[in-house]
Structure 1
């Protein structure tokens, strides 16, 4: 078995530097946890693993927590905040659905940077 050749990695500082012009935000404003060591590198790109979701999805969790707390206050129950937030959450989740966004050129796609999911797989070697 031969060992795969690996292209040299560029620095993490360079990776961070490409994010801001591509997406208009610094890396920590977009992602919760971004590994600075690439998983792989090639002639035109390198791959970094992201160990969390995009930051903006956390908003729905926070809003739901506030609604649950508001249900403990009798005067706020009349406002039926849970129903309003549920409708809002459906709208928001459709906005952050990556499959749907891909059809509209997802904002995290740029000629210099591409954000995709990382799927762990098994290596199967076939002998000839």
Structure 2
């Protein structure tokens, strides 16, 4: 298991009404209640959600691979056949394809497929 520290939160990023929360605030009581932080809520913008989800996917894959390599180097675990898909905490499924269509038919560089509504 590994954790990713980000300054954004995605809620239903593959839906028709995604919510992106981003800014300088950490998701802690002190940051949200006592510090002079900012938080931007972007709702319903599929393009922005796709961009943030693509960045999450990039970070997730980087640290997933790094975690696996560290386990192999430590001699603690052998990897089986590589899976062509990974289940993210968001519920999104990523694959190894180079491009994906977003909801309006445009092309984006995310390998994540938007769920059918």
Q: Same fold (TM over 0.5)?
A: no
Q: TM class by shorter-chain length? A: 0.3 to 0.5
More strand by share: 2
Give the TM-score taking structure 1 as reference length.
Answer: 0.31
Structure 2 length as normaliser, TM-score? 0.33
* Higher helix fraction (1 or 2): 1
Structure with higher Rg: it is 1
